[in-house]
Amino acid sequence: MVFLVLSSFFYAFNNLLWKRLLSKFDLWLIIGFRCLLTSCIGLAIIFLFYPTILSSLTYAVSVTILVASIFGAFGLISMILALKEGSLAQLGVFNLLIVFLVSSYLFFFENIFLKNYAVASICIILGFTLYIFQIKKIDGVKKKKSYRNFILFTMMSFFFAVSSLMHWYNLKQEIPAILSVTVQELVVFFVVLIIFNFKTSLSPHQIYPQIQKIVKPVVFMAIVIFFAIWTGFLGLQYTNPLISSLISLITPVLTIVFGVFFFKDQWNSITLLSLFLISIGIYLINLEHQ
């Protein structure tokens, strides 16, 4: 339980750091450099404390870890693309969607009975319908950006939910959490490395000065997200992904608070109502585990 609470705080703090850096530096350079540092930390821990783990993996387990990591990588990239122009408050709302997706999977496929699931689903779906409705009221370029962010945040929720479930199955086989963390970060790094070659707006002589500027904040961010992912996997190792997702509700709450406090995110009445309905739905699911 303590690991999951710590993970939620680290994730929320990491979201704040992402938002600050994305407004100042090249998107792909930040992601790639941070993932490289996080991967190095993970590899060092594996070689020091789990030197035989790689030789003990079966082919099937290795493929599962890789696929789960690919979903996690796409989830992270979707989140960063949306957060570039979106708000921390929006990120907080869509973190709630991850809980709903995970609980839906467990309800239908893992026979985890949720007596409030029907009512909770109605509240959550209605909440997101209202959220989409308020986007329609936005005019011009902002409307297009809002729809784009909505799609990206939705993709993020789906990818992270799938990744969480797949990693949960892996952890049930007593695979050290550090391995899943490191593989996921390596996958993100190589995907971003490919994208960076085609998408970056920086010329070769601009890259080194940019790296010099982002070294300290990215090193700090790498440490924060490493502990967020690691403590999250450690917590997941001792519970199921639904409990993990419910405790991680601390993340969207703190993310929304950070958005309002540091970036002056605005909430209109429809958005507040949609958040209220979504939160009620998540709370009804949470009643199953009181």
User: Read out DSSP for 189-201?
Assistant: HHHHHHHHHHH--
Q: Name residues whose C-beta falls within 8 Å of residue 156's C-beta, 6 or more positions apart in sequence.
A: 75, 76, 78, 79, 82, 94
Rounded Cα gap, residues 163 and 154, in angstroms: 14
- Kindly give the confidence (pLDDT) of every residue in the chain, 290 residues in length, as a single tens digit, with 9 standing for 90 and above: 677 778 878 888 888 887 788 777 777 888 888 888 888 888 998 999 888 888 888 888 888 889 998 998 899 889 888 887 777 777 877 877 887 888 788 778 877 666 777 787 888 778 877 777 766 665 555 666 777 888 899 999 999 999 988 887 877 777 777 888 889 889 989 988 888 777 666 666 777 777 788 888 888 887 887 788 778 777 766 666 556 655 666 676 677 777 767 766 666 677 777 777 877 877 776 655 54
- Region of 111 (left: φ > 0; alpha: ψ -120 to 50; beta: rest) is left
Its pTM stands at 0.76
Rounded Cα gap, residues 244 and 267, in angstroms: 28
